[in-house]
Structure 1
Amino acid sequence: MSRRRTERLIVTKVTADGARRGPDRLIVEEPMTIQLDGTTVSTTMRTPGHDFELAVGFCHTEGLLGGAPVEAIKYCGTGSAVETEFNVVSVDTLGRAPVPTPRLGTTSSSCGWCGSDQIDELTERLTPLQPTEPFALDVLAGVPDSVREQQELFGDTGAVHAAAVFDHSGAVRLVREDVGRHNAVDKVVGAMLLAGDLPARDLGLFVSGRASVEMVQKAWAAGFAAVVAVSAPTALAVSAARRANLVLAGFVTGDTFNVYSPERL
Structure 2
Amino acid sequence: MRRTVRTRVRRFDETGLIDARADSLAGEEPLEVRLDGEQFTVTMRTPGDDVELIAGFLLSEGIVTDWKQILRVDFSTGIDPDGTRNLNVARVSLEPGTWDRERYQARQIYTSSACGICGTASIEAVQRTSTYPIVLDAMSDDGPVASPAVTSRAVLTLPDAMRAEQKLFGSTGGVHAAGLFRLERDDAGGIADTAELVAVREDVGRHNAVDKVIGWALQEGMLPLSDTILQVSGRASFELVQKAAMAGIPVLSAVSAPSGLAVDLGREQGITVIGFNRGTRLNAYSHHERIV
TM-score by length of 1: 0.89
- Amino acid of the residue matched to residue 258 of structure 1? N
Alignment match, 1:167 = 182
Is this contact kept in 2: 1:242–1:263, CA < 8 A?
A: no
Alignment match, 2:134 = 129
Secondary structure class of the residue paired with 2:32: strand
Which segment is superposed worse, 143-152 or 253-262?
A: 253-262
Supply the distance in 2 between the matched residues of 1:83 and 1:9 (Cα, whole angstroms). 22
Match among 251, 266, 269 for residue 244 of structure 1: 269
Supply the distance in 2 between the matched residues of 1:80 and 1:46 (Cα, whole angstroms). 17
Alignment match, 1:88 = 89
2:10 is aligned with 1:12? yes
Is this contact kept in 2: 1:33–1:88, CA < 8 A?
A: yes
- Amino acid of the residue matched to residue 150 of structure 2? F
Give unpaired runs (5+ residues) of structure 1: none
Which segment is superposed worse, 157-166 or 100-109?
A: 100-109
Supply the distance in 1 between the matched residues of 2:133 and 2:268 (Cα, whole angstroms). 7
Secondary structure class of the residue paired with 1:256: coil
Match among 206, 215, 230 for residue 190 of structure 1: 215
Which segment is superposed worse, 156-165 or 96-105?
A: 96-105
* RMSD of aligned residue pairs (Cα, Å): 2.4
Q: CA deviation at 1:141?
A: 1.1
Q: CA deviation at 1:61?
A: 0.9
State the identity %. Answer: 38
Supply the distance in 2 between the matched residues of 1:210 and 1:40 (Cα, whole angstroms). 30
Secondary structure class of the residue paired with 2:149: coil
Which segment is superposed worse, 45-54 or 16-25?
A: 16-25
Alignment match, 1:228 = 253
Alignment match, 2:172 = 157
Secondary structure class of the residue paired with 2:256: coil
Supply the distance in 1 between the matched residues of 2:84 and 2:259 (Cα, whole angstroms). 41
Alignment match, 2:231 = 206
Q: For 1:17-66, what per-residue CA distance to the aligned partner results, in whole angstroms no more than 9, with x for missing partners?
A: 74211110011100001122222221010000001110111001110126
2:244 is aligned with 1:219? yes
Is this contact kept in 1: 2:175–2:203, CA < 8 A?
A: yes
Is this contact kept in 1: 2:132–2:248, CA < 8 A?
A: no
- Amino acid of the residue matched to residue 23 of structure 1? A
Alignment match, 1:55 = 54
Is this contact kept in 1: 2:235–2:258, CA < 8 A?
A: yes
- Amino acid of the residue matched to residue 58 of structure 1? F
Structure 1 runs, 4 residues or longer, greater than 3 Å off: 15-18, 78-84, 102-105, 112-115, 124-128
Which segment is superposed worse, 89-98 or 181-190?
A: 89-98
Q: CA deviation at 1:118?
A: 5.7
Supply the distance in 1 between the matched residues of 2:237 and 2:121 (Cα, whole angstroms). 10
Number of residues paired by the alignment?
A: 259
Q: For 1:202-225, what per-residue CA distance to the aligned partner results, in whole angstroms no more than 9, with x for missing partners?
A: 111111111001000000101112
Is this contact kept in 2: 1:211–1:232, CA < 8 A?
A: yes
